[in-house]
Amino acid sequence: MKCIDEEIPFEIPEGWEWCRLNDLALYRKGPFGSSLTKSMFVTKNKHSIKVYEQKNAIQKDYTLGDYYINKEKFETMQSFVVKPNDIIVSCAGTIGETYLLPSEAPVGIINQALMRVTLFDLNMAEYWQIYFAFILLNEAQMKGAGSAIKNIPPFEYLKAVLVAVPPLLEQNRLAERYYKLLSLIDKYESEANKL
């Protein structure tokens, strides 16, 4: 165990805990390009396995996409398997979009443009997604105003990020408030565009 007292950026309320992003989940980026190419794809059938793409994370819809692999290829790609209740994260182009795969989503594999996140405690899925978006926004601001992040920060950086974790009820309250504010921002933006 390593003492993190020197790294703690601010005081947190009683009942909250500091931990690292790595303590909350398992993370896996998609395969290298040559590990999964279009020549390996097959037409959808009752034995084929879905290949999840970036658009699944961006549009938050597991049904999108027409790429599948056969069972033999699937067996060679076990470290890239994604299941219901895993979070997929877009890692190139439109980065940082997260999507919690629902219970009805089929088991599949992630492609090169995705990262899989398997939370140790699924109850904190909403809070994790909000905090992860904050981390990426913070990273963009550190790189300079107006600059876009081209890729997800390196794993070693991500895993070491400190996270202030509130009790579950507080996580839910914060997530509820966050989404309420987002809807107000969307409404304001819509009204501003009309003007």
Assigned domain for 12 exists: no
What is d(CA 1, CA 70) in angstroms, rounded to the nearest whole number? Answer: 43
Tens-binned pLDDT, residue by residue, of the chain (195 aa): 566 677 888 899 999 999 999 999 999 999 987 888 888 999 999 999 999 999 999 999 999 999 999 999 999 999 999 999 999 999 887 888 999 999 999 999 999 999 999 999 999 999 999 999 888 877 766 655 444 556 677 778 888 899 999 999 999 999 999 999 988 998 898 888 888
> What pLDDT, on the 0 to 100 scale, is given for residue 163?
92
User: What's the half-sphere exposure (Cβ side, CA atoms, 13 Å) at 1?
Assistant: 4
Assigned domain for 61 exists: yes
Assigned domain for 122 exists: yes
Domains of the chain: total: 1
Q: Which domain holds residue 60?
A: 17-194
126: helix, coil or strand?
A: helix
Length of the chain: 195
DSSP secondary structure, 144-167, as one string: -TTPPP-BPPPHHHHHH-EEEE--
Can you give the pTM of this predicted structure? 0.85
Assigned domain for 44 exists: yes
Assigned domain for 2 exists: no
**At 101, which CATH number?**
3.90.220.20
**Nearest one of 98, 161, 89, 103 to 126, comparing CA atoms:** 98
What is d(CA 38, CA 41) in angstroms, rounded to the nearest whole number? Answer: 5
Assigned domain for 4 exists: no
